[in-house]
Amino acid sequence: MRRTASSFVLAFLLAAVAPAAADETCQSPYLPKIVGQEDYVYVWTLGVEGLGDGSDKLVTVGANPARDDYGKVVGSVSVGGRHEAHHGGFTDDRRHFWVGGLDDSMIYVFDVASDPAHPALVKTIDDFTEKSGGVVGPHGFYALPGRVLIPGLSNARDGGGRTALVEYSNEGNFVRTVWMPDAAPYGYDARVNATLNRMLTSSFTGHRNYMRPLPDLMSDAEAMKAFGDTVVVWDFHARKPLQTLRVPTAPLEIRWAIDPRHEYAFIEAALTGELWGVFRKEDGSFEAAKIADIGGREEQPLLAVDISLSSDDRFLFVDTFMDGKVRVFDVSEPRSAKLVYERVIGSQVNMVSQSWDGKRLYFTSSLLANWDGTGHEDEQFLRAFTWDGKSLHPSFDIDFRAEELGRPHLMRFGQEGFWAGGDGAPGSRVAVRP
């Protein structure tokens, strides 16, 4: 069944021939793709006490150079309080945007379809830990057909790294909890390859570690042992673990190759500063292999925190928090990644998102409230760049401290009139469903 003309392959081919598709890469294969220039960047932002209203909030920033709001804050919606705002994702119809807090496990659902410039908070889920059977720290929100997959980071029993995958319906109702296997109890990211019916999950650490100040944590030898070093290969439809692969230490973001003929994924190991690949073998099983060192670690760990793969599977953008750099690797030969470019984005850098056409990249600065500013100025920004295939060029820069917004973290894109349809011309909004 691997080589059937699946709907996913059809979606890929349609996206490949469409003009200037603008959708963040590395998202769920069950999301619709968008043709045209993104109009907005949604930024899930940690509140800072004494700065503005001090609350976590969803900030909307104009991203279309043809519009008057380009590079400006369009609006923000606060959720009240500080919950360690971290990650988020769309439902499979792209009408709702789910975000969560790693500290108290609150989840917030925004309507982004009715008025894309001004998302509205329409639902708050405050019983995630109770409904899930003790999962703490909803980390990711990954679109499945009619559902949202939420990998956790921790548990309510001991605040350690044992955790689970949790599923909710698009309407916000709990569906089920699938605990991580005993051989690989930690969690972090979860990504699906629809053509192979395989899911990969990665591993980080528990609540009692990620809520500690970073210098304090790193000086505690016992605590530093409580980080995951596993990637699990799952039968996606059955939600059954098939293999446990070792990737030291703290393998975080998973990025499947986008061309369905490329049967591999990339992962960065946060604490060892390495790039790894997970490759499908002839017998259908997978193996993990180191493909590059990210950079020198003479004075301190780099903390490799986020990666983004271009839609042609050629360039992998890798952010390292402690030195504030992005490094670009040519991964067209996936088992032998080659560093081709690097640039300092700021005194610290965390998330990176890029448009489907690979021409625009956006970076944010915040990792965790107690980890930001470790050894550096704690600047907080959203910075946009264009990529010409060889180097990055600044487009706009928003100082989130000066705007009294907080610590910007995760980014996703939005468009005006996405649900109005179009004829496929540049600038129209055409949904191509995988």
pLDDT digits (tens, 9 = 90+) for 91-107: 999 999 999 999 999 99
pTM value surpassing 0.85:
yes
Integer angstrom CA distances of residue 396 from 74, 236, 356, 382: 14, 40, 19, 8
pLDDT one-digit tens code per residue, 328-379 = 999 999 999 999 999 999 999 999 999 999 999 999 999 999 999 986 789 9
CA dihedral for 334, 139, 349, 302, sign (positive or negative):
negative
Read off the pLDDT band of 34 (50, 70, 90).
low
Domains in the chain: ranges and CATH: 7-420 (2.130.10.10)
DSSP assignment string, 90-137: E-TTSSEEEEEETTT--EEEEE-SS-TTS-EEEEEE--HHHHHTSEEE
pLDDT of residue 20: 32
Please give the helix or strand (H or E) that residue 8 lies within, else none: helix 7-17
339 neighbors 327 (Cβ within 8 angstroms): yes
Residues 173-193: tens digit of each pLDDT: 999 999 999 999 999 999 999
Q: Rounded CA gap, 89 and 407, in Å?
A: 18
Residues in the chain: 434
C-alpha 392/C-alpha 395 separation (Å) is 9
Q: 């099983």: which residue's tokens?
A: 285
Q: Are strands 325-330 and 96-101 parallel, antiparallel or unpaired?
A: unpaired
pLDDT in tens, 122-173: 999 999 999 999 999 999 999 999 999 999 999 999 999 999 999 999 999 9
Q: How buried is 111 (Cβ within 10 angstroms: 0-12 exposed, 13-18 middle, 19+ buried)?
A: middle
Could you report the per-residue pLDDT of 281-307, keeping only the tens digit for each?
999 999 999 999 998 655 567 899 999
CA–CA dist 42, 382 (Å, integer): 11
Quick one: pLDDT at residue 301? Answer: 75
* Average pLDDT, integer, range 232-258: 97
